[in-house]
Amino acid sequence: MSLRHKLCAAFAGLAITGMTPVSAHEHLPLRIEHRAAIRDLPAPSNPTHSLELRAVNLDRWPETEIHAALRTTAQILGQCGIRITRVDVLNITAAETHRYFDTPRSRELAQELALPKPAVFFAAGTRQVPAFDAEAIGRGNSRSRPELADTVWVARGARDLGIVVAHELAHVLMDSGEHDNTADNLMAESTTPQNTQLTTVQCQRLTATGRRHGLLRGVD
């Protein structure tokens, strides 16, 4: 079963108008139950850029599942010379309303956590309409929801998880919702186990924009 992504429409300016600011609220009842760092991810032989990630576990996803997905993501992004040097994994206890991707609530959650970016949120599901298994929010589609800039939201049950995370991170790093439906391309609109390749042009755009936005660092 392939996955469909909302990103193209969002970056084109749809589904982001009419947003209201984050409402005033007391501090959310969040608790960090566990924090761990992953440093043993696959790396390209000659990395040109480094990437640090935050991974937020909102729904007690198995740590082994997240770790395995990030290994696949690291292998895929490695073809662009990107080495994921560190992933900080935070297991969060939050109210039921904030464990799902839902723009107003997720803005509150991101604002409260105030994590360095990029960040990947492993959520219980989505309450967006239409519903998608994963969504990425870059600079271009976050003007009315700045708290969510440079984040990825993945719903529990998403298949080919490591490929999905790589696909959405690439959208964030390129700050683009464009898809490429050529055979085997990671940025195809439908995510499948075969779609893992990035072109030279895609890698150049990904690294240049990611570095310009402060999400990637050059490796000396």
pLDDT the model gives residue 28: 81
Q: How far is residue 89's CA from residue 66's CA, in Å, rounded to a whole number? A: 9
pLDDT the model gives residue 139: 96
Determine how β-strand 119-123 pairs with β-strand 151-155. Answer: parallel
Rg (CA), the chain: 16
Residues of the chain falling short of pLDDT 50: 1-25
DSSP 54: E
Domains belonging to the chain, first-starting first, are 3-13+34-213 (3.40.390.10)
pLDDT the model gives residue 220: 76
Q: What is the pTM of this model?
A: 0.89
pLDDT the model gives residue 80: 98
Residue type, 17: T
Asked if 31 and 93 count as a contact pair (C-beta separation under 8 A), the reply is yes
- What is the residue whose two structure tokens read 């893992």? 196
pLDDT the model gives residue 170: 98
pLDDT the model gives residue 27: 73
pLDDT the model gives residue 167: 98
Instruction: Please give the backbone phi and psi of residue 154, each rounded to the nearest 5 degrees, phi first.
Output: -120, 130
pLDDT the model gives residue 26: 57
